Amino acid sequence: MINITFPDKSIKSFSEVPSGLDAAKSISDGFARNCVAMELNGLQTDLHSNIDSDASIRFITTSDPEGLEIMRHSAAHVMAQAILRVYRNAKLTIGPVVEDGFYYDIDMEPVSEDDFPKIEKEMRKIVQAKYPFKRKEVAKSEAEGFYKGEPYKMELISELEDGTISFYGDGEFTDLCRGPHVPHTGFIKAFKLMKVSGAYWRADQSREQLQRIYGTAFFNKKELDDYLFMLEEAKKRNHRKIGIALDLFSFHDEAPGMAFFHPKGMEIWNALIDFWRLEHKRDGYVEIKTPIMLQKNLWERSGHWENYRENMYTSVIDETEYAIKPMNCPGGMLVYNQKQHSYKDLPLRAAEVGLVHRHELSGVLSGLFRVRAFHQDDAHLFMTPGQIQQEILGVLHLVDRLYSAFGLGFHLELSTRPEKSIGTDEQWELATTGLESALIAYNKDYKVNEGDGAFYGPKIDVHIKDALGRTWQCGTIQLDMSLPERFDLFYIDKDNERHRPTIIHRTIFGSIERFLGILIEHFAGKFPLWMSPVQVKSLPINDELIPYAEKIDKKLRSAGLRTEVDGRTESLNRKIREAQISQIPLILTIGAKEKDAGTLSVRTLDGKVRYGISIEDFLNRTLSHVEKRMLNLDTFWE
């Protein structure tokens, strides 16, 4: 008799050894059809696996994130199988699941996206055949015999420990794999090959160059269509194209991976930083600024020289080695240590928008999203252990306020102690409990990533969601038990003895450059009025009205608005159209009628026009809208 415990704690008994599929069917046939795999006593395995002793089981369905990942893993096998049918001399390497899909690295003749239809045609045949995925375990020697003539698989096998090695087969195809897989190829209902690129075997430029073919897959066609639609929308919102079109920033060969911000880009930058400073002052932060270049001995003390040296830019000055900072933290520690602190001084919240440099490989540079020079909105909070919860909670509320201003939702993930870490069990318990208690008090759902914390402390990662539903990890809140020791930080407590402060490292925007890139795509270049580089543009309908338009413009600028006058000798319709393409939120058309009446015709970006608006009324509405940092102009006329 086999007793199986289900997640709801119910127990079912089976007189014969059941498979996972049998257990699923005991619930219902409909439920079983939606099961992808199972978690048996906490370990993922195939539904075909037998359950030969009492066990706890959780089914992984098509609705679960793990189910999608398993199906995409199976889709990578199907793609490799199809490629071998089309390109018989191809040699397989590895094919992992990645975010939004999968890829397979293959030693084969060069292919392009023009070759994708014939590969997809074979994939459809394999899917329609509904080949079951069958697991087989063999001795290492047998595996080597099977893959004789396959150099990449042989290399992988040679690195495995002696013992059994698992294979998965479907139809005529067999691949070295740990699994699990979907029950059969028919589960891969909607797929598409996306792109092809070059890759070196083992990411080693001295090794063979391979073809890396990317694909994606979903459980139904609608999800695939939605994803492809999102990609098309993302192309339209590409921040690099919009940045050029709106004259916000540029990149130059003289400084690879380092953005040049133009005047209009700086207007957005300054609006963002002004907002950041205002909200931090409200929460009792002080702002500091530390040097961009510091001596090698500081980076040795912080641990960066040992662990991060290959990503740092260095220089020698007066026979002393220096490094340009890749992080702001060590400088912040020096500022704290400049004077003695009492427990009465804590918490001390010190923020810095610091310029940092990190050497990224040229192949991964990507507009504002991946650069070599960027500004981090760091803050270091120094506190007593008893203040951890309240300070974490304060950061979370600040995160909420800042992201809400841009209409960005977010979710939280807690990462706990990794296998390799520093600090005592007591310190980790205190730090993790502090984060957990703050998250509970914050009363928002969060995910736990066991063992994914930094080596020096647990952390909370903040993942924002943009207008296209894409998620970005920007903010992070980390508890650090390393730097207080390395820099001998202390405060004098009530007992008149020295004690180590607890440190929170945190960013909210993360990289300001990357966050701006996200915002450009989130808003598709149509920034809220308070962020727009040009908030108001005046369009006089002829040259005689330019002086009057400039008079109005001067009044608006004096009130703090960012304005322009388009005095070109062009038709009014053309000037309106160009202002709209430039995403100007408020467009004023000024003719003789407006001059004589002392009024304005106001056109909003959605094309709606209001006539006969007094200058004072317009100015007051605009300033109020900017001050409140409203997201859109829907309420402008209310």
pLDDT at 566 over 90: yes
149 band by pLDDT with thresholds 50, 70 and 90: confident
**635 or 121, greater pLDDT:** 121
Three-class secondary structure assignment of 140-180: HHHHHHHCCCCHHHHHHHHCCCCCEEEEEEECCEEEECCCC
* Sign of the CA dihedral with 87 first, then 91, 97, and 99 last: negative
Q: Is residue 423 scored above 80 in pLDDT?
A: no
What percent of the chain is predicted at pLDDT more than 90?
84
Q: What is the pLDDT of residues 134-148, one digit of tens each?
A: 999 999 989 999 998
- Using only the alpha carbons of the chain, give its radius of gyration: 30
Which of 378, 466, 480, 566 is flagged as catalytic? 378
Show Cβ contacts of residue 262 under 8 Å, excluding neighbours closer than 6 positions: 247, 248, 249, 250
User: Rounded distance, CA 6 to CA 4, Å?
Assistant: 6
- Compute CA distances 150 → 92, 106, 143, 175, whole Å: 8, 11, 11, 11
What is the β-pairing status of strands 536-540 and 502-511? unpaired
Question: From the candidates 380, 506, 562, 603, which is the catalytic residue?
Answer: 380
Which of 505, 506, 522, 625 is catalytic? The answer is 505
Catalytic choice (239, 459, 562, 603): 459
Active-site residue 378, yes or no? Answer: yes
Residue 329 annotated as catalytic: yes
Q: Which of 48, 73, 237, 376 is catalytic?
A: 376
Give the whole-angstrom CA distance, residue 138 versus residue 457: 42
The pLDDT-based confidence of 501 (bands split at 50, 70, 90) is very high
Spatial distance between the Cα atoms of 157 and 147, rounded to a whole number of angstroms: 9
> Can you give the pLDDT at residue 325?
94
Res. 267: pLDDT tops 90: yes
Tell me how crowded residue 90 is: count the other CB atoms within 10 A of its CB: 17
Q: Of 576, 574, 619, give the one whose Cα is nearest residue 599.
A: 619
- Going 441 to 445 to 447 to 450, the CA torsion angle's sign is positive
Q: Which one of 349, 358, 370, 522 is the catalytic residue?
A: 358
Q: Which of 73, 175, 237, 329 is catalytic?
A: 329
Q: Which residues of 527-538 are buried (b: 16+ CB within 10 A; e: fewer)?
A: bbbbbbbbbbbb
Q: Which fold has domain 66-223?
A: Threonyl-tRNA Synthetase; Chain A, domain 2 (3.30.980)
How do residues 587-612 score in pLDDT, each as one tens digit? 999 999 999 999 999 999 888 999 99
Give the tens place of pLDDT for each residue, 438-480: 999 998 899 999 888 877 788 999 999 999 888 999 999 998 8
Domain 244-290+327-523 sits in CATH 3.30.70.580: no
**Which residues on neighbouring strands pair with residue 135, listed in sequence order?**
168
Does the structure show a pLDDT above 80 at 174?
A: yes
User: Catalytic annotation on 505?
Assistant: yes
87 three-class SS:
coil
User: Are residues 311 and 326 in contact, defined by beta-carbon separation less than 8 angstroms?
Assistant: yes
What kind of fold does domain 536-627 have according to CATH? Rossmann fold (3.40.50)
- What are the structural domain ranges in the chain? 2-61, 66-223, 244-290+327-523, 536-627
CATH for 2-61, options being 3.30.70.260, 3.10.20.30, 3.90.850.10, 3.20.20.70: 3.10.20.30
Catalytic, 459? Answer yes
Residue 621: pLDDT band (50, 70, 90) is very high
pLDDT over 90 at 635, yes or no = no
Does residue 33 have an active-site annotation? no
Q: Is the pLDDT of residue 617 over 80?
A: yes
Percent over 70 (pLDDT), the chain: 100
pLDDT tens digits for 272-309? 999 999 999 999 999 999 999 999 999 999 888 888 88
**pLDDT at 421 (0 to 100):** 77
The residues facing 536 across adjacent strands are: 563, 586
